[in-house]
Amino acid sequence: MTLAKVWLQSTDGDLVRADQVSEITVHPTPRMSGAERWLVDVVVPVPTGAGDRGGWRSGPLHRTLAQCDGQPHGVQVALARLLARLEDLDAAGVVHAQVSSAADGSWTRPEVRFLFSRFDTMDQPDPAVQPVETHRRDDAAPAMAG
């Protein structure tokens, strides 16, 4: 069994096939202005690059699944656990992240939950499958009722 039929939805709505993921990371964004944001990313081992005056740099492709106002805890293990369960079930569908806040004493901490929607129970019809009208072609003339 593999995760070839399980997809991870990124924050921009794109999908990454789960069996292509090599790493799950949580890291802060560079603090340029405003509040620090934390990203929950999956890493796909495909080289991608960017250049500037200092030269060309390449590295693996990071896809963001969730953004939080603070550091979420335990999300890497939670996603890995869910993917392991889905692999055992030979599941097919989409995993997406849901971000919320939980009050923890005097401060609020972010919570990230991963939800799975099976393809056979999703509300949207499959755009690739369209009803096909079947036409019967008989060489004989239609029967006449008398």
In a domain, 102, yes or no: yes
In a domain, 142, yes or no: no
In a domain, 130, yes or no: no
**pLDDT value, residue 18:** 97
Closest CA to 72 of 105, 22, 114: 114
**pLDDT value, residue 88:** 94
pTM reported for the whole predicted model: 0.73
Q: Domain range for residue 65?
A: 6-48+58-121
In a domain, 37, yes or no: yes
Structure tokens at 23: 């790493």
**What is the percent of the chain with per-residue pLDDT over 90, rounded to a whole number?**
51
Contacts of 67 (CB under 8 A, 6+ apart): 11, 37, 38, 39, 40, 99
Q: Which range (13-22, 53-62, 79-88) has the least confidence?
A: 53-62
In a domain, 83, yes or no: yes
Contacts of 6 (CB under 8 A, 6+ apart): 17, 18, 19, 83, 86, 87, 91, 92, 93, 94, 95, 116
In a domain, 146, yes or no: no
In a domain, 53, yes or no: no
**pLDDT value, residue 62:** 86
In a domain, 41, yes or no: yes
| Number of compact structural domains in the chain | 1
Q: What is the largest CA-CA distance in the chain?
A: 90
